[in-house]
Chain A
Amino acid sequence: MRLWKTILAAAALSLAAGTSVFAARTDLVIGIPLEPPHLDPTAGAAAAIDEVLYANVFEGLTRIGPNGEVLPDLAESWTISDDGKVYTFKLHTGVKFHDGTDFDASDVKFSLDRARADNSVNAQKGLFAAIDAVDVVDPATVKVTLKNPQGSFLYNMGWGDAVIVAPESAETNKEKPVGTGPFKFQSWAKGSSITLVKSDTYWGTPASLDKAEFRIVPDAAAYVPALLSGDIQAFPFFDPDSLAQVKDDPRFKVVVGSTEGETILSINNKKPPFDKLQVRQAISYALDRKAIIDGASAGLGQPIGSHMSPANKDYVDLTGRYPHDVAKAKELLKEAGLEKGFKATLKLPPPGYARLGGEIIASQLRDVGIDLEIIPVEWAQWLDQVFTKKDYDLTIVSHTEPNDIDIYSRKDYYFNYDNPAFDKLIADLGVTSDEAKRKELLGQAQKILADDAVVGFLYELPKVGVWDAKLQGLWENAPIQANDLTKVKWSE
């Protein structure tokens, strides 16, 4: 036995010696939970696509920074006409795609026209809806004319779905992505990992890392051993429930940030008895957000009172609108003629926040007399039954798209919510670029949603990242779904 241990220890030492380094490392292995279905950010909604490629391989006219701000990217600068309808972008020159072809204004025109074309299957086609025409002025200047002024246009152009692609490679980006970013795609071992390497022809500040590998680790149980063994050095989206094993370990850094994910108890506003305001308000009073956050999110995540991230500059704190008050909830149900309570269903998609949160919410609503039957569903079923066919009473889901308060004004959206006053606000917002005015409108919009108790607002999904303590430059927050590696480096 002793001999065995000696042999094993010697073998381990010799292996460890082989990997010791003296200079700072330039490689990184990042763990991601889901594999992207393909590698073209302009052709799919899966967050995993952007989490590998955004800012690393592909770039847009603008980009979203670590705190949700709009930054110049391939466009060096821009001017906006006085009527807010014409955007003239000055582009960087000397930019090359990874396949060696040159980037210029015609690529911008191609990309935007492709995304908004009739036969486009861009998952965020709405981002381009306001564009009337895209004109090439000269190779370094492009002019975008809008149908009407759009307050969020520059932000929209920073989405992963609006990145600039080349006509030569657009059709093959799904398998072999070709962009202009500081990293170029090297290989994709399906089911296993995607490897990026530094691009030698990058136009901007070159990346510090020479190689970055995104390794797909679907099971949260594998996160901790992968970190401890050193196989994987960063999990930007860690499992909150496994934190206990790493949070006191000085070799790792635990970073809790915010996302754009409003986690809500969605209510079918047209289905009786949820069409009654008192019933929806009763539900809001019945919810104890703290207990939900503690139980479903390991105590991490900020409570919300309307559909806006607390990290957003236009956030209004409405969490006091419906304090946890069982007596008040019962009183409202009585007003609605439901003092005996009622039965309803709660459909839960697979993520932990829904499955765990659902159990807690069911017990909280039982306290006021609402008896929920829990129905677990897969994502495909959820999309089909709840989102498309609106066959549901209540469901829990995190709406992770940034700045998406406008979903409440969409016709035929699964909330079945219809309020002309709210729709008017959103329409006004669409044509307002003035920051102060926008803030005012967004504040009103948040307040209407809270007053109408359209859904049960729960909490902002936290971003829990765990990585090697020597690693610097990974994003703390997730204003959009991305793992931006452009500034990541190893200390020492």
Chain B
Amino acid sequence: MTAYLLKRLAIALATLLLASMVVFAVLEILPGDPARLMLGLNASADQVELLRNQMGLNAPLAWRYLHWAGGLLSLDFGRSYTYSVPVIDLVRERLAVSLPLALIALALSTIIAIPVGLFSASRRGRAGDTISMGAAQLGVAVPNFWFALMLIYVFAVWLRLVPAGGFSGWSAGIWPALKSLLLPAVALALPQAAILARVTRSALIEVLNEDYIRTARAKGLPYRAVLWRHALRNAMIPVLTILGLQFAFLLAGTIIIENVFYLPGLGRLVFQAITQRDLIVVESVVMLLVAAVIAVNLLVDLSYAVVDPRLRSRQ
């Protein structure tokens, strides 16, 4: 087990190092000058040069990479060109929105998907299965920004239960903050739930065809007990894999939903930083996300071992 863990950690670190090089190189060849963007059309070339010097953009590439990567090691993510505040402060503010949002959406998606998947698998081919899988198909197909707008019109414009968008901040109280995350979480969760339900169903169906399920039924266990205790547990591995991928996506891939609800999330920070060529922010946030994805994958790998004792003994 320890060897397994160490190996996974070494791979994770190598991936991080490689990613940092790729991210830095790719962004450096992107056309566009942050200094010119800040100064606009009326500034002279000399002035742009002056600002480039002040921002440290004229230093050699290798030196800037080492400076940045070295900073990352000591958890110093540098300062934003445009906001001129430490990147870590920006990220912390955005995570206060994105992390709870991702967690709520993930929880909602799981709560909806697992029972639907179980229901469908146990009624395979019957009307209930067709209806719920049809609904899941619809959930995958409906564009989430459209679904989000419909939610806004019903719950914010018509019923006035929640705000149409924006984020009140946690300092305004837990409830108002949660209220402003509720609709976006639902809008994010539904398509994810639809995918997850389909995966759960097909994983379960595969397991339900196994011999040991027949044996369990044959020795007289009730169907429900077989489903929950034997089938679901064995079907968890693909489900956990998808959940891990979904969490990484929900953390930063939610730019469209963040825009529709004008939430100050991580996705928008990156998007804005790209358009303003605030390279240091993009580079640092992308690295954080790489680290998060690697960490989640590591966790998922470890959780396999929890659900499947065979994996534990094999290592």
The interface of chain A, by Cβ under 8 A from chain B, is 8-9, 11-12, 15-16, 35, 37-38, 44-46, 119-121, 123-126, 174-175, 189-193, 215-219, 221-222, 225-226, 228-231, 378-381, 383-385, 387-388, 399, 401, 407, 412
Contacts and interface: CB of A to CB of B under 8 A. Distances in A.
Contacts of B269: 191
Contacts of B37: 379-380, 383
Contacts, number: 159
Contact of A231 (B34, B165, B268): B165
B50 interface: yes
Contacts of A412: 45
B225 interface: no
Given A45-B38, A121-B50, A383-B37, A12 B160 contact: yes
Nearest to A161: B42
B149 to A, nearest CB: 6
Given A124-B42, A231-B165, A8 B33 contact: no
Contact of B82 (A37, A218, A407): A37
B135 interface: no
A383 B32 contact: yes
Contact of A388 (B36, B51, B82, B159): B36
Interface of B: 30-34, 36-45, 47, 50-51, 54, 82-85, 90, 93-94, 145, 149, 152-153, 156-157, 159-161, 163-167, 169, 259-265, 268-269, 272, 275-277
B163 A35 contact: no
Contacts of B260: 219, 221-222
A15 B36 CA distance: 48
Given A221-B149, A226-B164, A385-B31, A190 B39 contact: no
A126 B160 contact: no
Given A191-B93, A380-B277, A401-B42, A175 B32 contact: no
A216 B82 CA distance: 17
Contacts of A45: 38-43
Contact of B41 (A218, A229, A378, A387): A387
A229 B32 contact: no
Contacts of B36: 383-384, 387-388
A378 B274 CA distance: 10
Q: Which 6 A-B pairs have the closest CB atoms?
A: A45-B40, A380-B32, A191-B264, A37-B82, A219-B259, A229-B164
A237 B203 CA distance: 51
Contacts of B83: 37-38, 190
A9 B160 CA distance: 9
B264 A192 contact: yes
A297 B125 CA distance: 53
B193 to A, nearest CB: 21
Contacts of A189: 93, 167, 169, 264
Contact of B32 (A9, A123, A226, A384): A384
A217 B90 CA distance: 18
A175 B23 CA distance: 29
A12 B93 contact: no
Contacts of A384: 31-33, 36
Contacts of B82: 37-38
A221 B145 contact: yes
Nearest to B32: A380
A175 to B, nearest CB: 7
Contacts of A38: 82-84
Given A189-B169, A229-B164, A222 B259 contact: yes
Given A35-B272, A125-B47, A11 B42 contact: no
B70 to A, nearest CB: 26
B262 A218 contact: yes
B52 to A, nearest CB: 10
Contacts of B272: 35, 191
Given A216-B262, A217-B262, A219-B260, A225 B38 contact: no
Contacts of B259: 218-219, 221-222
B121 to A, nearest CB: 29
Contacts of B159: 8-9, 11-12
Contact of A125 (B44, B84, B276): B44
Contact of B166 (A12, A46, A126, A192): A192
19 contacts: A12-B160, A37-B83, A45-B38, A46-B40, A121-B47, A189-B93, A190-B90, A191-B264, A191-B269, A215-B166, A219-B259, A222-B262, A225-B153, A225-B164, A229-B163, A380-B33, A383-B37, A384-B33, A407-B41
Contacts of A12: 159-161
Contacts of A219: 259-260, 262
A231 B40 contact: no
Contact of B276 (A37, A123, A407): A37
A288 to B, nearest CB: 28
A441 B82 CA distance: 40
Nearest to B153: A225
Given A125-B47, A225-B164, A380-B277, 4 more contacts: A38-B82, A191-B265, A225-B156, A231-B163
Contact of B38 (A37, A231, A378): A37
A255 B15 CA distance: 55
B148 to A, nearest CB: 9
A229 B156 contact: yes
Contact of B31 (A35, A215, A381): A381
Contact of B161 (A11, A126, A190, A217): A11
